[in-house]
Amino acid sequence: MNHETVSLRERVKLPPDPALVEAYYKPAISYGAKYLFPEEMRIHVAHGLMLARQAIVSPSDMVAILKVVAELQAAGPEALDIDYLQEDLYSYSERYIVSRLGADVGGRLHTARSRNDLNVTAWRMVLRRRLLAVAEAVSGLRETCLTLADTHADTIMPGYTHTQHAQPMSLGYYFLAYADVLERDAARLAGALDRCDRCPLGAGALTTTAFPIDRDYTAELLGFPRLVEVAYDAVSARDDAHETVSALAIMMTGLSRVATDLQEWNTLEYGFIELSDAFSSVSSIMPQKKNPQGLEHIKAAAAYVTGALTTVLASSKNTHFADVNDGVTALNASTIDAVDRTMLAVAVARGVFETFAARPDIMLHSAEIGFGTATELADIIVRETGLSFRKAHNIVGWVVREALENKRTALSLTAGDITRASQALFNVPCDLSEETVRRALNPRDNVLARTVQGGPAPANVREMVSRRRTGLAAENQRIRFVRQRLDDADQRLADAVLQLG
């Protein structure tokens, strides 16, 4: 083994201060080993193949270099001799290669490249694969919501606004609405992936290089469909991270709102659903407790992701538009943390959604007694008597107030109540049959009558579910296409190494 070594610290005389090592070097190298190592190895191979192809480095030297890179790739980051005198993982990888081949051969791999473009390329590759995993998880959650929408299209329950009974709907309609939110979340994530999936390699420090490199070739070997063309942009901007965490924070905010509803519906006071034991916890002192642990975790994870968005944006805010650690590098840890927390939270949400038990009888009874049918009663007064909606609204409002003051439920309202209110308010008759009032106050009939496009009638819901499943299939195909592109790139990279020698 050649023990010749090189350093990147020729410009400075002193070793890094222990405080800086603890605060910056160790975390940076730890994150590099945990996340970047496989992608950096791919980049070394792609860049090396390009250098040989462009006759910048001789094929014989590059064969020797790539053999050592392959050995290091197989051994893993544990093979690196880390003394914390260098600030990042790459420095130790280069030192490893030089120690095996000598500076004259091993030192050629970094020709026409900077750590700047190397690092942002590696982080984009890490983020790209994680965004694909999140997209797959979101598709799974969407499928679960569409299944719930179909299954519970006839499960009648109160709809709420301002936490008050508003109008009857179905549990399926609720999950259809959330499936559409997830569809938009998926579109935001797809946009973030598209803009992340661009190759900065070849940008160098900030102005490319005078060597005749082929940036398109390295991008192709690494599975990128396009470049971040302007080199200065490639190493200075991190809107790939900003956009990713923004999309995640929006998605987790929506998911936390659904978790809040389900947590409330899971209480004794509502009794609409019961969470599975598998997503619940217990109390150490109160034997009756069954706590909604899964839902509470989702809400906590949403807080972390929102915090990550603040961190990611604040890291870059008021930094120079150039390669600077605070604006370009410091946000990586929070970005990856946000992605990983989101992925886990979505998995928990899917499990909760697929395993909770609905209680349709309790939901229906709540909808029957809670005056959510009052809007339909007002509408029927308009249709049957010709009174204006505002007058009908006043009449029904009077009737509801009188009923509540006398501790009556919506089930007890009669045509006589309507007539008395109409006479008292406007001195006009309002003759409705008891059967008409009964129909107006029936939550199921209310839902069946909402056949306007986008309404909760079960036939509407099932037709919308069918259309959305077609869209989801197209989204899944897009995800598979991107993943196949990355797999194909890995194969091209391996094949190109074999062809080199």
- Please pick, among 58, 283, 412, 466, the residue that the annotation labels catalytic: 283
d(CA 92, CA 187): 39
DSSP for 128-182 reads HHHHHHHHHHHHHHHHHHHHHHHHTTT-EEEEEETTEEEEEEEHHHHHHHHHHHH
User: What separation in angstroms does the CA of 55 have from each of 39, 42, 112, 200?
Assistant: 24, 20, 12, 22
Cβ neighbourhood burial of 316 (10 Å; 0-12, 13-18, 19+)? buried
Q: Does residue 357 sit in helix, strand or coil?
A: strand
SS3 content of the chain, % helix, strand, coil (to 5): 70, 5, 25
d(CA 13, CA 368): 80
d(CA 273, CA 146): 18
d(CA 292, CA 390): 43
Give the helix/strand (H/E) hosting 256: helix 239-265
Which phi and psi angles does 91 have, rounded to 5°? -55, -35
**In the 8-state DSSP scheme, what is residue 226?**
E
Antiparallel, parallel or unpaired: β 226-227 and 198-199? parallel
Beta bridge partners of 358: 273
Residues 6+ apart with CB under 8 A from 60: 501
Q: Could you confirm whether 162 is annotated as catalytic?
A: yes
Q: 430 — alpha (psi -120 to 50), left (phi > 0) or beta?
A: beta
Give the helix/strand (H/E) hosting 227: strand 226-227
Q: Could you confirm whether 152 is annotated as catalytic?
A: no
Residues 6+ apart with CB under 8 A from 110: 94
Q: Does residue 322 sit in helix, strand or coil?
A: coil
Give the helix/strand (H/E) hosting 65: helix 59-75
Beta bridge partners of 273: 358
Beta bridge partners of 165: 160
Chain centroid to CA 68: how far? Answer: 38
Q: Does residue 295 sit in helix, strand or coil?
A: helix
The catalytic residues are: 162, 283
